[in-house]
Amino acid sequence: METVKVQEQTDAAKEAAEKVNATLSDVSNRIENASAEAALNAEIMAEEAQKKAADTIKTVERYVQEKPLQAAGIVFAAGILTAVLLRKK
């Protein structure tokens, strides 16, 4: 009788261990998939940011070539504003 109970408990423990192992394996796979997807999304976003930065640089260069005096005035005003803001700290 005792041997039967021990065997039943052993079987129940093995079954529980198998369920835990399966659950951990599933969680591990989900984490790996989510990580890979996040890495891909980060790469795509970085590429888009680089393209936008390059477009912005081209726009600024074109503006400076077309209107050099206005560009110089804007830079001068930005310098004064920066100096004023930094002086207050």
What is the domain partition of the chain in residue ranges?
A: 2-88
Averaged over 31-37, what is the pLDDT?
A: 97
C-beta of residue 64 within 8 angstroms of C-beta of residue 71: yes
pLDDT digits (tens, 9 = 90+) for 36-51: 999 999 999 999 999 9
Q: What is the C-alpha to C-alpha distance for residues 21 and 43, in angstroms, rounded to an integer?
A: 33
Residue 2 pLDDT greater than 90, yes or no: no
Quick one: tokens of 63?
Answer: 């503006």
Question: Which pLDDT score, from 0 to 100, does residue 88 have?
Answer: 75
- Dig out the tokens for 40 from the structure: 């891909």
Residue pair 63/72 in contact (Cβ under 8 Å)? The answer is no
